[in-house]
């Protein structure tokens, strides 16, 4: 049996503006997706307790990983079981985590010894094939873990934080949101460009405050970033309600994370106010859960096939 897992991620700063080449900061979180392989005569995936053939339409990331790994190794038969601690389609990078965890498990199975860089690149290729266009951020952070500065894709000082995530439960298409922002930009180029510059500035200021570990100022910058996201039309009344509930319960700062239009918000907390923020988000109609940022990227959790 082989089990590998990879983390989800949050955008601390700069989602959307990153599409326009501006600075952003993303962090891995300690909520993970795991891929477990057990020996099997053919290639199957466990869905609702039953092993079924891998379907590229229903399981595109797993199918993509198998397809790519088959190019570089002869894979034996296996059954794969995906388990996720992340809500899917909620802006927390669950599809990247599935892809990265699956590749790593197959890498262990086939003993191909892929580097982290190779895993990240392969995952990004798979995401791009499935989604048409995909940001390399999610796959990079899920592979390497830690706090990552975009577009450079380099680690910055680790941002060690308690985060309460609030899920609105509303799904929104990243592709549609990115194109809505593009349309707004086309209609009001001067104003929207100016806002993208402000987001860039906020991310850069954020990096400085992370270095200084000034959580209060990081929270203030998250709030500023949220207003800018609101200004380009990707917030919703549900997100605003969860965000204000968190702020009014003592969070350092709160903002949506990912594409918006639904999905999740994040609140930067400390030990003392986590429960209060959780309760407030619940009361405001959200589905809250607590996580920590993490340095850990993809990892092998169990390996009794090719022990190191």
Q: Do 163 and 274 contact (CB within 8 A), yes or no? A: no
When the beta carbons of 23 and 110 are compared against its own copies, the nearer one is 23
Q: Which is nearer to its own copies, 24 or 80 (CB)?
A: 24
Cβ of residue 13: shortest distance to its own copies, in angstroms? Answer: 10
Note whether 124 and 136 are within 8 A (CB).
yes
CB of 251 to its own copies, least distance (A): 13
Residues binding its own copies (CB under 8 A): 184, 187-188, 190-192, 194-195, 197-198, 201-202, 204-205, 217, 220-221, 223-233, 235-237, 240-241, 244-245, 248
Beta strands 154-155 and 78-84, pairing class: unpaired
Of residues 74 and 190, the one with the C-beta less far from its own copies: 190
Q: Between 170 and 201, whose beta carbon lies closer to its own copies?
A: 201
Listed in sequence order, the residues at least 6 apart from 230 whose beta carbon sits closer than 8 Å to its beta carbon are 240
In 3-state terms the chain splits into helix, strand, coil percentages (rounded to 5) of 45, 25, 30
Distance set, CA 44 to CA 22, 96, 151, 195, 199 (Å): 42, 20, 37, 48, 44
CB of 223 to its own copies, least distance (A): 7
Of 118 and 220, which CB lies nearer to its own copies in the complex structure? 220
**Would you call the peptide bond into 270 cis, given omega within 30 degrees of 0 as the criterion?**
no
Spell out the alpha helix ranges (H) of the chain.
60-72, 94-110, 116-131, 136-144, 174-187, 189-212, 215-231, 237-248, 274-283
Minimum CB distance to its own copies, residue 281 (Å): 13
Exactly one of 138, 180, 200, 205 is catalytic; name it.
Answer: 138
What are the phi and psi torsion angles at 75 (to 5°)? -85, 135
Counted residue by residue, the chain has a size of 308
The residue among 29, 89, 24, 91 whose CA lies nearest residue 225 is: 24
35 and 80 in contact (C-beta within 8 Å)?
A: yes
| Cα–Cα dist 167/264, whole Å | 4
Nearer to its own copies, 230 or 303 (CB): 230
Q: Quote the least distance from Cβ 284 to its own copies, whole Å.
A: 9
Q: Residue 51 to residues 48, 63, 80, 121, 151: CA-CA distances in angstroms?
A: 8, 14, 8, 29, 40
Active site residue 81: no
Q: How far is the CB of 145 from its own copies (least distance, A)?
A: 28
| Residues annotated catalytic, as ranges | 138
């Amino acid at each position: 049996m082989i089990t590998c897992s990879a983390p989800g991620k949050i955008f601390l700063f700069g989602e959307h503006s990153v599409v326009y080449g501006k600075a952003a900061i993303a962090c891995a979180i300690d909520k993970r997706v795991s891929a477990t392989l057990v020996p099997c005569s053919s290639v199957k995936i466990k869905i609702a307790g039953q092993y079924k053939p891998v379907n590229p339409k229903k399981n595109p990331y797993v199918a993509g990983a198998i397809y790519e790994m088959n190019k570089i190794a002869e894979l034996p038969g296996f059954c794969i079981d995906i388990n996720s601690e992340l809500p899917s389609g909620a802006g927390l990078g669950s599809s990247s985590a599935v892809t990265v965890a699956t590749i790593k498990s197959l890498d262990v199975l086939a003993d191909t010894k892929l580097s982290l860089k190779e895993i990240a690149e392969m995952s990004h290729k798979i995401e791009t094939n499935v989604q048409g266009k995909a940001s390399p951020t999610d796959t990079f952070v899920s592979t390497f873990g830690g706090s990552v500065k975009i577009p450079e894709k380099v680690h910055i000082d680790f941002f060690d934080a308690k985060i309460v995530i609030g899920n609105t439960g509303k799904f929104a298409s990243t592709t549609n949101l990115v194109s809505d922002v593009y349309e707004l930009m086309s209609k009001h180029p001067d104003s929207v460009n100016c806002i993208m510059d402000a987001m860039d500035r906020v991310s850069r200021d954020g990096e400085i405050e992370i270095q200084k570990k000034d959580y209060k100022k990081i929270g203030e910058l998250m709030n500023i970033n949220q207003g800018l996201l609101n200004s380009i039309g990707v917030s919703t009344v549900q997100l605003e309600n969860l965000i204000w509930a968190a702020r009014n319960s003592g969070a350092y700062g709160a903002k949506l994370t990912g594409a918006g239009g639904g999905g999740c918000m994040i609140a930067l907390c400390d030990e003392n106010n986590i429960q209060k923020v959780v309760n407030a988000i619940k009361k405001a109609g959200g589905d809250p859960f607590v996580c920590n940022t993490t340095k850990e990227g993809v990892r092998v959790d169990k390996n009794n096939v090719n022990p190191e």
